Structure 1
Amino acid sequence: MKHQMANRNLCFFLILLLGLNQSSVFCWKKDEFRNCNQTPFCKRARALKPGSCSLVADNVAISDGELTAKLISKKQDNQEDESQIKPLILTLSVYQDGIMRLKIDEDPSLDPPKKRFEVADVIVSEFPSKKLWLQRLSTETLGGDASPSSIAYLSEGYEAIIRHEPFEVYVRDRAGNRVVSFNSHGLFDFEQLRQKKEGDDWEERFRGHTDTRPYGPQSISFDVTFYEADFVYGIPEHATNLALKPSRGPGVEESEPYRLFNLDVFEYIHDSPFGIYGSVPFMISHGKSRGTSGFFWLNAAEMQIDVLGSGWDAESGISLPSSQSRIDTFWMSEAGIVDAFFFVGPGPKDAIRQYTSVTGTQAMPQLFSIAYHQCRWNYRDEEDVVNVDSKFDEHDIPYDVLWLDIEHTDGKRYFTWDRVLFPHPEEMQNKLAAKGRHMVTIVDPHIKRDESFQLHKEATQKGYYVKDAGGNDYDGWCWPGSSSYPDTLNPEIRSWWAEKFSFQNYVGSTPSLYIWNDMNEPSVFNGPELTMPRDALHYGGVEHRELHNAYGYYFHMATSDGLVKRGNGKDRPFVLSRALFSGTQRHGAVWTGDNTADWDHLRVSVPMILTLGLTGMSFSGADVGGFFGNPEPELLVRWYQVGAYYPFFRGHAHHDTKRREPWLFGERNTELIRDAIHVRYALLPYFYTLFREANTSGVPVMRPLWMEFPFEEATFGNDEAFMVGNSLLVQGIYTERAKHASVYLPGKQSWYDLITGTAYKGGMSHKIEVSEESIPAFQRAGTIVPRKDRFRRSSTQMANDPYVLVIALNSSQAAEGELYIDDGKSFEFQQGAYIHRPFCVLGRETCIVKPSIISSSR
């Protein structure tokens, strides 16, 4: 959610009222944000030519089970030339399941001005134990090189190669074919920290803001090549196609690179490489001939990434294996170190499993949280809450969660209630809980600077706020006015923040209350690009530029931990976050932010959610109906029909929009929306089973078609249809008054229409007649889908209802599926308190495969 004012006159009035000397923070304009040419590190990196890297690998050896080397410049014959790069330290390590890790940093023995930031708390604690200890290196001269290459075992069928001169790192398979490579085009550049000398001007200025940059330029850039790839995907968060389009190269209209920089972007536009609320520097490639591979750069500074069109390097003189097709990419970051992971796949699910073995799998949600949520900025008061809740019952529309936005607080002071509008918060929550329903309230990171506000007073006294470049508590402007921001990089401060969610500290909260973290990019209305200055200071002297993209991640982590502590570690938390980073999936759900009520935003919601799923974040969705604007009834109905299949299903709207609860658009539209929500409730057992799969393997709930059909080229660029698990295919309707839809149904088996049961042949496109009643959705032949078909007012009321198995036989009269059940809320499933039952039908016989673990309590 981004609460923005659409009326320009109102914006102007607020600026005068608040005394701000900037252009409006409420009315977004493109020039509020920097492009590559206005971002010095990006402009410098893009000017590099192939082959400009002069580094060679020296002193290659095995140390502590890892390959180590020094990267030195061939041009270092003039030792007095300070422009020459000082030796860098390279470490290459290998891990189980075909994962290679490459680290490059400054040599600490050369006494750099400070230690460069390494992102902590993202790699899961068990990952280091999967390290394979290298015992020896083999060395050989490859491809006519004058110098040798060192070769290390990676996994069965794969080897890690470090080429000494010119410096290059890559993975190859048993046949000698490359999979992923680093610095094949010689674009690696590493700007080292320096002591400032008289006359050095390192400051950067943008729209009246000055970045002091006390350590000077410190950016890193390099090229990464994916071999036998037809497309690349990933690197959310952008409102664009699933398959990433080239940003420069011959025949390509040059565009901005894909930007990864968490920003509070008002009413973002679709089909744009512009970065919005989240940043996950993980890219995955896929091709018909080889399969899938991946690359992840653990770096939380601003990042820009080019996808390079074929032939971009035609005049470089660099020779790569001509027998292999490839996609080249170029990665640029303002700060940090190289801490990169290479994943060999070869299947789509293999690559995602490998990535989530590093950053973690999706947290197992509570059952209620995957049902329908109703939200608005803002439900006015307790009477409004009661009326909305009762109307859902009156119209026989189930829902599980009612949300309250910032207006429920006392003057935007989080953990408080407006006691005029919400005088009895516990009673209000308990009435919802009596129906099996829950409430979510918002808690943002900006803390009102008010000496009478105990939270601010305590944070100030303890020194818990982020500091400005001068060492004082950073003071920015957000919803409460003058605000400061807790430094959640510090584990001590995260623990302090977590304690604020206890029932004693959060007065008026109950066990059925859960949390929404918004504006945690962080959003700063009067800051550069509406965020925190890059030279602000965090725990350990870390500059904000170094960790910016992970600030919201640490805040989300602390909030999630707080809900676990609140319940004495018994119940799973539910926390929705707008900002996201690698590893966010371990702490809760995310959504795609401030979308708009138009058909283009409905369409782009699908590739945005699919991309998040490819990077491990299964629990994601988009605001149904669009946050901004007033959807026409047809658009709203179509959005509910698609949204019913989102992993996170929430209707939400800006306070300047007309009320849009499901019963406000006439009896027929109410019926259509009710039917869409009923589809979700019927499929809750299937969704919950898929969330368990995501929790154990990382494989997303909502999937691109090519994940299930990796050899069908017709699926590679299709992002208007999607799979829910391996059994259901859904085709959205993204145009008004549509009468037909073209639907490609992959595979050799048939597909059955979910409504009519009509069978359609696989491996071809079908022209499907479309009615207002539903969107095209199909069950794959050979699958079994568990459902619950008794409709209740909430998911908790369905707990003891019978299950229905929908069996779609294939041409061999066979089918298989599974059902996962636990108590829906606690962590006891981690100790084996669950049932995971596979089902199958073989010919005319039904086979029930006994699960490996069954709870003794069931």
Structure 2
Amino acid sequence: MRLAAFLLIFCIFKYANSVDHTNFKTCEQSSFCRRCRKVTPDQSKFALVPGSLNTYSDSVTADLIHKDNKHLFTLKLEALEQSDIFRLLIDEKTPLKPRYKVEHALKSAPKPGSIKVLEGDAELTIISGPNKAIIIADPFRIDFYQNDVLTVSANAKGLMNFEYLRPKPQQPAAEGAPENAENASANEVQNTNDEINDPGAWEENFKSHQDSKPYGPEAIALDFSFPQAEVLFGIPEHADTFALKSTSGTDPYRLYNVDVFEYILDSKMALYGSVPVLYGHGAQRTAGVFWHNAAETWVDIYTAESNVVSSIVNFVSGSRKSDPLAAHFMSESGVIDAFILLGPTPLDAFKQYTSLTGTAPLPQMFALGYHQCRWNYNDERDVEEVSAKFDEYDIPMDTMWLDIEYTDGKKYFTWDQFKFPNPLGMIKNLTDLGRHLVIIIDPHIKRDSSYFFHNDCTEQGLYVKHSDGRDYEGWCWPGSASYPDFFNPAAREYYANQYALWNFKTVTADVMFWNDMNEPSVFNGPEVTMLKDLVHYGNWEHRDVHNLYGHMQLMGTFDGVLQRDFNQRPFILTRAHFAGSQRYALIWTGDNMADWGHLQHSIKMCLSEAVAGFSFCGADIGGFFGNPDAELFERWYQTGAFLPFYRGHAHIDTKRREPWLYPEKTRLVVRDALRKRYSYLPLWYTMFYEHRLTGEPIMRPLLAHYPKDKETFTIDDEFLLQNRLLVRPVIHQGATKVNVYFPAIDDKKNGDLWYDVDTFKKYANVGYESIAVDSYKIPVFQRGGTIIPKKERIRRAATLMKKDPYTLVVCLNRTGKADGTLYVDDEKTHNYRNGEFNYIHYKFENNLLDVDFIGKPQFKTVAWIERVVIAGLERVPKSATLIVDGISKELEILPFSEAVAVRKPGITVQQVFNIRLNF
């Protein structure tokens, strides 16, 4: 009864109200954050120790000293072999115990490059190709240059902090200090740089939870300035604008993976993921910083707004006109480990980051189709009926999803034998239709003596533990639960083995997985997560590794799914994520709400994730909480059709909202949006392949390709898909028109040509255009100069379209040219890694469409080209001539809206050919 009562109360609290701010810390309630924020700017206490410099072929090292407390630190600065990246590492020289250094976020150990060192009286210059870093000795600062342009400065504001480990004082540092840090005011904390005087330095309470802090204060902090920047962006995940706002007078942005339901918008609060990469962009160049730290982190942002006062002071004093934009990273523990990304273009900076942390693997084609989910489909019959209804109404759908209620009492790797007595039969019914099933596996393990997983983890010592060695026990969906210590290789191996078909016998190799609640979510824990003083494998505290916990689960899941079938590409969805998690899983924006604001923020949030390595991002269509009306439902499906991950999902207490449960008009609008998504599947698939090759994001802010156009710097209601499509969804209630911004290429306001994908109407001017919309209209525009592959025979699932013919859509630029690519393989296995694929380049110039292959074509397919649509011609051609292997064939030309269509070339995508237009 106590368990049932607790879960009932928690569910009412968690899912019947909007987020309660008081359940999550502010910076003032987080002792290390308020200490770091109290460091006096422009009075840095750190300096290089004379005579401590060592130079090597790839790096320099030196000692740093805190001039007040005389504690020593080691500095290492290296240039990476991959150009335009420096790495800065600072640690204690002789710590009382080792400090945690992040593992598993980087795809591999970065290779250092060669450097040249020039020593001066008060500074040191490290040269790497066209780049250099100048280390100023006292006060300590590093300026990073690219081609003699100052791009990033570290500690230019003098906010560096490094709290060294020390024995606990025998007496309290501050008599009468308030016991509960959440009630401490700024006046109750002495404004000194002596961190032991803070009342939360050695022990900290938040609500009913105590953090014992056995190692005392150990925070680190460093500021980075971006002299060339006019806007800062990055550091997801937050429900905020793409361009980061000043934190002057507010809390900093927080990076701390927590379960926040019905999260509020335009907020700097922490959410489910933490990716500590930030970019500064200006009209001349872009640079970035990757803060390689997995502890709780706060980030202050200094923008033009927050620099107004200092700008006035500087002007009066005759110094520089304004302070540069800057960010101040503050982490609870660990070491300073920062990668400086020198750009100079936005895409350069994005690729430099993914060169460190990796790219998303090529997904199976079904993953790019539509996914149907709710908490929960009731039973096998419910699943089969929903699948059948999609066919009845001719609506494409690739994947059915099951939430936690499919299990036997919330015990993962089991099934409810009454609701799902024959899961293998249910799975076969789906796969026979070309569809897939995804089921949820959360990290909380029910403490039940009849549950094999719990017994094994207990006996083998695989759970996260208290400092005295006891298994940690928290509360989540099963009630009393413990959590595997995924940092322990044995725990990860055990967990991965549970996915094997000889262990999990009630699924097939086509079933894929969803890891949720993996922040980790602990209903009765501080801030709905784990205690920070718990202990992980290697004797690391949870505070050191918190933001990595979900990432480590993903590593186990990925290995398990891969090992059960080495030749099938895994598909995994995760809520918690960190830098590098994109190598294993895709993400979504979490427990959103059925309102227009959350629809609008789905674009902003996925844009921020995309530039941080997570191209495979989406939001729950219609909102997880609440019941969307017909208009919101329609517009969300239309927006989701052009986000990388496309899934409808809803809370257990919402009304059922499958498309046919709405009026016919809405069902037809939703069907149209879904069919449009499926027509672009060849483009999506090609973009994901190219993302894997280059690391460039798929979904991009406009500034990625129009970096000189300042209007693009803060636009986050429209976006690019690569440089091929511009998408401006309808995201406001009652809209009959939307303002679409067509960006400028250069300072002279020259722009690209853009073609409406529905009508091929051409837009040639730079600036805002008012575009009329009806209930069916999704404003999407193809850039002039591109060729896009499509498939326009829409079937029930993407898996059934593999052999269907292609349409090539050619939109000409101002010089009558265009080019594009198409990637083709078996859409499922890893055989492409052995060269079994076709990567095709199409080029149109001088009225000739030509084709060549990037690499040797190895994949055999019967898929053919049934039509070529060409927009932007000045005249309508009389006919076209197809030439294959020296043999000519005349083709028919038909008018097609404001374009022309070349009918039935009839050649496979494996053939080399050209098509000449005849006038």
Range class of TM-score, shorter chain? over 0.9
Q: Secondary structure at the match of 2:33?
A: helix
Moved more, 413-422 or 355-364: 355-364
Q: Is the aligned partner of 1:101 residue 2:87?
A: yes
Given candidates 87, 110, 124, the residue that maps to 1:150 is 124
Given candidates 758, 761, 766, the residue that maps to 1:763 is 766
Structure 1 CA distance for aligned equivalents of residues 156 and 6 of structure 2:
56
Match of 1:90 in 2: 75
Q: Displacement, 1:758?
A: 1.3
Q: Displacement, 1:197?
A: 3.5
The number of aligned residues is 818
Match of 1:65 in 2: 58
Given candidates 640, 650, 667, the residue that maps to 1:653 is 650
Structure 2 CA distance for aligned equivalents of residues 421 and 718 of structure 1:
48
CA contact (8 A) 1:478 1:523 kept: yes
Seen in structure 2, the aligned counterparts of structure 1 residues 317 and 40 have a Cα distance that, compared at 3 Å, is farther
Q: Deviations over 1:96-137 (max 9, x none)?
A: 221100000111xx3x23211111111122x43x31133x41
Alignment of 1:721-732 (within 5 A): 721-732=718-729
Moved more, 521-530 or 732-741: 732-741
Q: Secondary structure at the match of 2:329?
A: strand
Match of 2:98 in 1: 115
Seen in structure 2, the aligned counterparts of structure 1 residues 15 and 481 have a Cα distance that, compared at 3 Å, is closer
Alignment of 1:589-600 (within 5 A): 589-600=586-597
Q: Deviations over 1:10-43 (max 9, x none)?
A: xx99884459899945554110111011111111
Q: Secondary structure at the match of 2:634?
A: helix
Q: Is the aligned partner of 1:296 residue 2:290?
A: yes
Q: Displacement, 1:694?
A: 1.2
Given candidates 407, 410, 422, the residue that maps to 2:408 is 410
Q: Displacement, 1:200?
A: 4.4
Q: Secondary structure at the match of 2:672?
A: helix
TM-score computed with the length of structure 2 as normaliser: 0.87
Q: Is the aligned partner of 1:475 residue 2:473?
A: yes
Q: Secondary structure at the match of 2:350?
A: helix
Q: Secondary structure at the match of 2:512?
A: strand
Given candidates 181, 190, 193, the residue that maps to 2:165 is 193
Given candidates 437, 449, 453, the residue that maps to 2:451 is 453
Structure 1 CA distance for aligned equivalents of residues 320 and 141 of structure 2:
17
Given candidates 111, 122, 138, the residue that maps to 1:165 is 138
Q: Displacement, 1:830?
A: 1.9
Q: Displacement, 1:321?
A: 8.3
Match of 1:40 in 2: 31
Q: Displacement, 1:853?
A: 3.1
Q: Is the aligned partner of 1:734 residue 2:731?
A: yes
Alignment of 1:583-732 (within 5 A): 583-732=580-729
Structure 1 CA distance for aligned equivalents of residues 433 and 10 of structure 2:
50
Structure 2 CA distance for aligned equivalents of residues 222 and 726 of structure 1:
35
Structure 2 CA distance for aligned equivalents of residues 314 and 471 of structure 1:
55
Q: Secondary structure at the match of 1:38?
A: coil
Match of 2:256 in 1: 261
Match of 2:898 in 1: none
Structure 2 CA distance for aligned equivalents of residues 262 and 664 of structure 1:
36
CA contact (8 A) 1:300 1:546 kept: yes
Seen in structure 2, the aligned counterparts of structure 1 residues 15 and 217 have a Cα distance that, compared at 3 Å, is farther
Amino acid at match of 1:40: S
Seen in structure 2, the aligned counterparts of structure 1 residues 461 and 803 have a Cα distance that, compared at 3 Å, is same
Match of 2:41 in 1: 50
Q: Secondary structure at the match of 1:605?
A: helix
Amino acid at match of 2:113: L
Amino acid at match of 2:107: V
Q: Secondary structure at the match of 2:707?
A: coil
CA contact (8 A) 2:660 2:667 kept: yes
Amino acid at match of 1:149: E
Alignment of 1:10-25 (within 5 A): 16-17=5-6, 24-25=13-14
Q: Is the aligned partner of 1:514 residue 2:515?
A: no
Structure 2 CA distance for aligned equivalents of residues 737 and 825 of structure 1:
41
Q: Displacement, 1:199?
A: 2.2
Q: Secondary structure at the match of 1:733?
A: coil
Seen in structure 2, the aligned counterparts of structure 1 residues 378 and 789 have a Cα distance that, compared at 3 Å, is same
Match of 1:4 in 2: none
Structure 2 CA distance for aligned equivalents of residues 379 and 320 of structure 1:
68
Amino acid at match of 2:696: V
Q: Displacement, 1:530?
A: 0.4
Structure 1 CA distance for aligned equivalents of residues 543 and 693 of structure 2:
34
Q: Displacement, 1:51?
A: 2.7
CA contact (8 A) 2:152 2:287 kept: yes
Alignment of 1:478-493 (within 5 A): 478-493=476-491
Moved more, 601-610 or 57-66: 57-66
Given candidates 803, 807, 814, the residue that maps to 1:804 is 807
Structure 1 CA distance for aligned equivalents of residues 165 and 737 of structure 2:
60
Structure 2 CA distance for aligned equivalents of residues 406 and 856 of structure 1:
40
Moved more, 206-215 or 698-707: 698-707
Q: Unaligned stretches of 5+ in structure 2?
A: 174-201, 745-750, 862-919
Structure 1 CA distance for aligned equivalents of residues 299 and 310 of structure 2:
17
CA contact (8 A) 2:262 2:625 kept: yes
Q: Deviations over 1:269-325 (max 9, x none)?
A: 11101010000000011111x221110011000000011122465699999983887
Match of 2:356 in 1: 358
Structure 1 CA distance for aligned equivalents of residues 338 and 271 of structure 2:
23
Match of 2:118 in 1: 138
Structure 2 CA distance for aligned equivalents of residues 21 and 413 of structure 1:
19
Q: Displacement, 1:149?
A: 1.1
Q: Displacement, 1:65?
A: 3.0
Structure 1 CA distance for aligned equivalents of residues 409 and 611 of structure 2:
40
Q: Displacement, 1:700?
A: 1.2
Q: Displacement, 1:326?
A: 2.3
CA contact (8 A) 1:676 1:774 kept: no
Structure 2 CA distance for aligned equivalents of residues 120 and 440 of structure 1:
29
Please list every run of at least 4 consecutive aligned residues from structure 1 whose deviation after the TM superposition is greater than 6 angstroms: 12-15, 19-23, 315-321
Q: Displacement, 1:92?
A: 0.6
Q: Displacement, 1:566?
A: 0.8
**Over aligned residues, Cα RMSD in angstroms?**
2.0
Given candidates 335, 338, 342, the residue that maps to 1:337 is 335
Structure 2 CA distance for aligned equivalents of residues 50 and 808 of structure 1:
53
Q: Displacement, 1:850?
A: 2.9
Q: Is the aligned partner of 1:396 residue 2:394?
A: yes
Structure 2 CA distance for aligned equivalents of residues 514 and 739 of structure 1:
40
Structure 1 CA distance for aligned equivalents of residues 310 and 224 of structure 2:
13
Q: Is the aligned partner of 1:842 residue 2:825?
A: no
Structure 1 CA distance for aligned equivalents of residues 272 and 682 of structure 2:
31
Q: Secondary structure at the match of 1:456?
A: helix
Amino acid at match of 1:48: V
Alignment of 1:245-324 (within 5 A): 245-248=245-248, 254-288=249-283, 290-308=284-302, 309-311=306-308, 313=310, 322=320
Seen in structure 2, the aligned counterparts of structure 1 residues 167 and 313 have a Cα distance that, compared at 3 Å, is farther
CA contact (8 A) 1:50 1:313 kept: no
Q: Displacement, 1:856?
A: 5.6
TM-score computed with the length of structure 1 as normaliser: 0.93
Q: Is the aligned partner of 1:179 residue 2:151?
A: yes
